[in-house]
Amino acid sequence: MSTEKTTYTISIYTENTLGLLNRISAIFQRRHINIESLNASASEIDGVSRWTIVVLLSEEQMKKIIGQIEKQVEVIKAFYHTDEETIYQESCLFKIKSDLLFDERKIQNIIKDSNARIVTVNKAFFVLEKSGRRKEIELLHRELSAFGILQFIRSGRISITKQPMEISKMLKTFNY
């Protein structure tokens, strides 16, 4: 098995219980593995949470970590995927002085070319939202930096797999 490090997206279907985040993050911390990003949200199944964790690991390490995650009582199922196996996005927000929108015509072009969206505008500032790949967001950040960014925030990765996830089917087999 390859020991070369790859970016993996881990998808964890869990019960929505207190303290589980602590349990999962301890698995990474104990092994000195840095979490690149983490997102927790609802999933397609009622009452089931879906977490997306991005890590840089060898496949061998990845398999062991998945085993440790699945071992947790309240984890229903955990998967890992490479970038090629998923559709993934990040989202970001920029807060920029409103003056610039009128004084710097270039900004309008940047907004148009990057497919970013203006969320709100007032006299003092406007907020720009952009969803996409990390590279696109980084490019936009670089371009806007020249004009001055008041605030910037980027979300963790969210991802959908190309292959089906058969969680509902799995849960149906539980018939105690």
Partner 1 sequence: MKDPQTINQQQTNNNVSNHISGSEAIVRCLIEEGVDTLYGYPGGAIMPVYDELYKYQGKIHHVLTRHEQGATHAAQGYARISGKVGVAMATSGPGATNLITGIADAQIDSTPLVCITGQVFSHLLGSDAFQETDIVGISTPVTKWNCQVTKAEDIPKVIAKAFYIAKSGRPGPVLIDITKDAQLNTFDFSYNTCKGIRSYNPVPKVNNDALIAAADLINKAKKPLIVWGQGVILGKAEEQFKAVIEKSGIPSAWTILGASAIPTSHPLNVGMVGMHGNYAPNKLTNECDVLIAIGMRFDDRVTGDLSRYAKQAKIVHFEIDPAEVDKNVKTDVAILGDAKQSLEQLLPLLNKNTHTNWHNEFKALYDIEYNKVVKNDIHPTKDGLTMGEVLKEINIQSKGNAAIVSDVGQHQMIACRYAEFNKSKSNITSGGLGTMGFALPAAIGAKMAAPNRDVVAIIGDGGYQMNIQELGTILQQQVPVKIVVLNNEFLGMVRQWQQLFFDKRYASTEMVNPDFIAIAKGYSIDAKKVTKRENLSNAVKEMMQSEGAYFLEVCVEKEDNVFPMIPTGASVSEIRLS
Name the site residues for partner 1 (rule: CB under 8 A).
Answer: 14-19, 22-23, 26, 30, 47, 63-64, 67-68, 70-71, 73-76, 171, 174, 176
| Residues 134, 13, 167, 82, CA torsion sign | positive
Amino acid in position 64: K
Residue (71 or 117) nearer to partner 1, CB = 71
Please give the Cα distance from 40 to 13 (Å, whole number): 10
Residue (41 or 120) nearer to partner 1, CB = 41
Q: Whole-number minimum distance, CB 129 to partner 1, in Å?
A: 33
Please give the Cα distance from 61 to 1 (Å, whole number): 10
Residue (48 or 110) nearer to partner 1, CB = 48
Residue (70 or 129) nearer to partner 1, CB = 70
Q: Whole-number minimum distance, CB 119 to partner 1, in Å?
A: 33
Q: Whole-number minimum distance, CB 2 to partner 1, in Å?
A: 14
Question: With contact defined as beta carbons under 8 Å apart, do 132 and 90 qualify?
Answer: yes
Q: How deeply is 32 buried, as exposed, middle or buried, from its count of CB atoms within 10 A (0-12, 13-18, 19+)?
A: exposed
Radius of gyration of the chain (CA): 20
Please give the Cα distance from 58 to 4 (Å, whole number): 5
Q: Whole-number minimum distance, CB 54 to partner 1, in Å?
A: 21
Residue (68 or 131) nearer to partner 1, CB = 68
Q: Whole-number minimum distance, CB 59 to partner 1, in Å?
A: 11
Residue (35 or 93) nearer to partner 1, CB = 35
Q: Whole-number minimum distance, CB 75 to partner 1, in Å?
A: 6
Please give the Cα distance from 93 to 58 (Å, whole number): 32
Please give the Cα distance from 67 to 51 (Å, whole number): 16
